[in-house]
Structure 1
Amino acid sequence: MSKNEAASDGDVSGLERARPVAPPRVGPRRRRPGVIALGVVLIAGGGVGGSMLYLHNGQRAPVLTVVRHIPVGATITDADLGEASVALDPSIRAVPSRDRGSVVGKRAAAALTPGSLLSSSQVTTATLLKSGEQLVPVGLKPEQVPASSGTFLFPGAQVQIVQVPGENQPAKTPGAQADGQPISARVVQVGAPAPGTGAVVVDVAVASVDGPRLAGWVSSGNARILVNAPGDGA
């Protein structure tokens, strides 16, 4: 073989070695429509679930709150109520603000404290007058109303009502006090002081057998209310 032929063969071998190698042909991946559909459903479901969770946690509702102390049995007034926008747990049955008008005028079924949410179970239309009882209004002059009446004289409070001698009436002898035995009573409502006079009317519930006797004491102005200590029975 001549030098020219050998050189020519070397050039050809070098060209073959320098020629780029074509990558192997890869066929298109086989798509699985079922897997794709499942992925779409999971993504969509996760988005909806996240949105619902966000809305649930961030949703706030306007509800009624208690802004003043309301004793049990007291009539709820508009001034006793406030409003707040809070995120509620489904187990909390707070009264919506839109029902404010239906709450005013009802009675407190339990003692309500300022700053608490008002629930439907805490209001009632029932009175504190029970079967076998009579309601008797007792008028008190300003000097007969306890200075701490707001603390001790409230709906549901247990009291004793006694008969005292009139201004021009001498005290009865011990042997003649059968009519003056104390009457156990329960406060149903305490009225506001009358303009000008300051007199206060306290509605009390007493046993039916004591009603007429108490009414007689009240008419003669001889009835006085003694407030029992909290927790003491009548």
Structure 2
Amino acid sequence: MSIDTPPRVARRPARSRPKPGGADAVPVTPEPPRLPSRRNPKWIALGVVAVCLGGLLSYVIYARVATESAVVAMTSTVYRGEVIDAGDLTSVTLSGDPRVPTIAADLAPTLVGQRAAYDLVGGSLVAPTAVTAAAVPAAQRAVVGMKLAGGRAPADFLVPGAPVRLVALPPVDAQPGARDPYAGKTFAARTVSSVPGPDAGSLFVDVDVPANQAPTIAMLAAQERLSVVRDAGR
């Protein structure tokens, strides 16, 4: 009796690994050495110049901002004695020292309601002495209003604060040879305001005069016996 057995698989002989340095060793190519990167001198010089320019520009901007200041300026002309409104004021930024007295922009609200000490031209800077709280008229002074017919005043020159002389005229119905105590008399005054009247060429004028002369001037104004002469000055 026989027993069938599966055939045996022949084992493959194990391959021997080559020993390092042996005759069968595979040669290994070494890695090439790394070359140092080249730096372009032109780019280095440009970088240095850019850094210097950036620092200089930063200094200029800082110096300019550090010397800037906001001050008060006029948006419209306000004549001497007139009240200053909020709309008359604005702020401007100055670089460096303006070399003239100015008022800081944050103090603008304190100027509203005060009066111009002299004519403040639109676009000009406001000095600390340009405003005053003094009322018009001042002590021992009075303001008289009058209506002047055409030709009795230089209309374009009666700005507020202008020095004028009030000249008394003879009465219209004066008798020949009659002597009037006021005819030819003059009174020194300053214009407070003037606006056109309803008639062609007429004016409504307010003048600042000495308080003791106010009654006489008011009487002559009511009789339409006054003419206004603009004197030199403001």
Q: Tell whether the structures are fold-level matches, with TM greater than 0.5.
A: yes
* Cross-structure match for 1:72: 80
Residue of structure 1 aligned with 2:95, choices 71, 75, 87: 87
Q: How does 1:118-197 map to 2 (within 5 A)?
A: 118-127=126-135, 129-141=137-149, 144-148=152-156, 152-165=157-170, 169-171=172-174, 173=176, 176-193=179-196
**Equivalent position SS for 1:170:** coil
Per-residue deviation, 1:123? 0.7
Q: Give the conservation status (yes or no) of the 8 Å contact 2:158–2:193.
A: yes
| Cα offsets for 1:99-119 (capped at 9, x unmatched) | 444324422223334443112
* Cross-structure match for 1:108: 116
State the alpha-carbon separation in 2 of the partners of residues 174 and 66 from structure 1: 55
Q: Please give the root-mean-square deviation of Cα atoms over the aligned residues, in Å.
A: 3.6
State the alpha-carbon separation in 1 of the partners of residues 204 and 190 from structure 2: 11
Amino acid at match of 1:153: L
Residue of structure 2 aligned with 1:204, choices 198, 207, 215: 207
Unaligned runs of 5+ residues in structure 1 are 1-49
State the alpha-carbon separation in 2 of the partners of residues 142 and 88 from structure 1: 51
Amino acid at match of 2:161: G
Between Structure 1 and Structure 2, which shows a larger proportion of helix residues? 1
Larger Cα-atom Rg: 2
| Cα offsets for 1:143-189 (capped at 9, x unmatched) | 544242xxx322332222123356xx323556512122423232241
Q: Give the conservation status (yes or no) of the 8 Å contact 1:73–1:110.
A: yes
* Cross-structure match for 1:45: none
Q: Give the conservation status (yes or no) of the 8 Å contact 1:191–1:200.
A: yes
Residue identity (%): 23
State the alpha-carbon separation in 2 of the partners of residues 66 and 205 from structure 1: 25
Unaligned runs of 5+ residues in structure 2 are 1-57
TM-score (norm 2): 0.57
State the alpha-carbon separation in 2 of the partners of residues 79 and 200 from structure 1: 27
TM-score (norm 1): 0.57
Residue of structure 2 aligned with 1:219, choices 215, 219, 222: 222
